[in-house]
Amino acid sequence: MNAELRELYQEVILDHSKKPRNFHALPDANRRADGFNPLCGDKATIYVRVEGDVVKDVSFTGKGCSISTASASMMTETLKGKSLEEAERLFQRFHALVTASPDKAHDNAAPELGKLAAFSGVCEFPVRVKCASLPWHTFKAALEEQAQPVKTE
């Protein structure tokens, strides 16, 4: 397989896309938002239970490509137990990672991103950036309790 392609579809990403974690609704969620990518019709709903200033639990449902499914799955794993402030910082870091100019991708893979660094290959594929960032934007909207569905366009 082509190197660029292998960089995008890393093993961990393929694994999470085939077996997404926290892929269910959250009955006791106290925040929730819907995300939609009109370009490909992908939909994601993010459920969050915030207690105090901690993301106690987070899950998702929806239908999307392997990049968006893996991104949502890995995001929920990462965010569980994080403070709202840490979550916000991760959002910024992740956003910087996937929107970096390709030659800077590795500089942006901050240590705190952990396995989310696997998404560094996404910045080589401008049309796929939205796939990776949709769950994160939707999560942010859930925290801010935006009434309107999030759109990537």
Partner 1 sequence: MSVVTAAVTRRFDVETVRRDFPILSERVHGKPLVYLDSANTSQKPRAVIDAESEVYETYYSNVHRGVYQTSVRAEQAFEGARQKLRQFINARESREVIFVRGTTEAINLVAYTYGRANVKAGDEVLVSAMEHHSNIVPWQILCEASGAHLKVAPINDDGEILLDEMERLIGPRTKLVAVGHVSNALGTVNPVKRIVEMAHARGVPVLVDGAQGAPHLKVDVQDLDCDFYAFSGHKMYGPSGIGVLYGKAALLEAMPPFHGGGDMILSVTFEKTTYNVLPYKFEAGTPNIAGAIALGAAVDYLNGLGMDRVGAYEHELLTYATDALARIPGLRFIGTAKHKAGVISFVLEGVHPHDMGTVLDFEGIALRTGHHCAQPVMDRFGVPATARVSLGVYNTREEIGVLVQGLLKVAEMFR
Beta strand pairing status for 31-37 and 150-151? Answer: parallel
Q: Which residue, 41 or 52, is less far from partner 1 as judged by CB?
A: 41
Closest separation in Å from C-beta 5 to partner 1: 5
Determine if 5 is a binding residue for partner 1 (CB under 8 A).
yes
Query: Which residue, among 59, 34, 26, 24, has the nearest Cα to 146 in the 3D structure?
Result: 34
Binding region for partner 1 (CB under 8 A) out of 3-11, 20-28, 107-115, 132-140: 3-11
Sheet holding 54-63, edge to edge: 54-63, 42-51, 31-37, 150-151
Q: Which residue, 23 or 125, is less far from partner 1 as judged by CB?
A: 125
From residue 55, give the alpha-carbon distance in Å to each of 23, 24, 33, 82, 141.
17, 17, 15, 6, 14
**Cα separation, 10 vs 109, whole angstroms:** 15
Determine if 82 is a binding residue for partner 1 (CB under 8 A).
no
Contact map string, positions 33 to 62, toward partner 1, x by CB under 8 A? ------xxxxx-------------------
Contact map string, positions 98 to 117, toward partner 1, x by CB under 8 A? --------------------
